Amino acid sequence: MKKSDAIILVNRLKKAYPDATCSLDFKTPFELVVAVMLSAQCTDERVNKTTPELFARCKTIQDFADINITELEKIIHPCGFYKNKAKNIKLCAKQVLENFAGEVPHTMEELITLAGVGRKSANVILLEVFGIAEGIAVDTHAKRISNLVRII
């Protein structure tokens, strides 16, 4: 696809979906980091049913670092892969506190140093929290559908 075709497609999508927003519920940058981690191999709907309890329990990044791993696993269990996700959430919180003075970093290079955060997750965080469109986060469904789209 040529750049001009891509611009046409993006403009059509913006016109068709002017109110498009992130489907994950969050109030703070770190809540989005956690929600994005939980969304791996899980639906956003399930994540949004799970995070209210978690975010009520963990109000600060320090709370995420300090929560008992067993308690965290129990809360996030419905999202699947809960043992690995719990380990990454706690480690990520500690990394943000120790390496970034308690602030979610706002560059790709810094974000991907965090446990449980890859390029796709970093792209979502950059766009939704900081308004930085460095890349596009594409899940398997969007990729499949995009292969069917043709500019007319």
- The CATH number linked to 62 is 1.10.340.30
Q: What is the number of structural domains in the chain?
A: 1
Residue 141: inside a domain: no
Task: Considering only residues 114 and 21, tell me which one the structure prediction assigns the higher pLDDT.
Answer: 114
Q: How far apart are CA 152 and CA 135, in angstroms?
A: 25
pTM of the predicted model, to two decimals? 0.85
Q: How far apart are CA 37 and CA 116, in angstroms?
A: 6
Task: Considering only residues 116 and 22, tell me which one the structure prediction assigns the higher pLDDT.
Answer: 116
Residue 23: inside a domain: no
Just list the catalytic residues: 120, 139
Residue 150: inside a domain: no
pLDDT of residue 151: 56
Q: How far apart are CA 70 and CA 43, in angstroms?
A: 23
For tokens 């981690």, name the residue. 37
End-to-end Cα separation, the chain, in angstroms: 12
What would the pLDDT profile of 35-67 be if each residue is shown by its tens digit?
A: 999 999 999 999 999 999 999 999 999 999 999
pLDDT of residue 3: 85
What would the pLDDT profile of 88-131 be if each residue is shown by its tens digit?
A: 999 999 999 999 999 999 999 999 999 999 999 999 999 999 99
Residues 6+ apart with CB under 8 A from 20: 13, 14
Q: How far apart are CA 142 and CA 126, in angstroms?
A: 19
What would the pLDDT profile of 136-146 be if each residue is shown by its tens digit?
A: 666 666 667 77
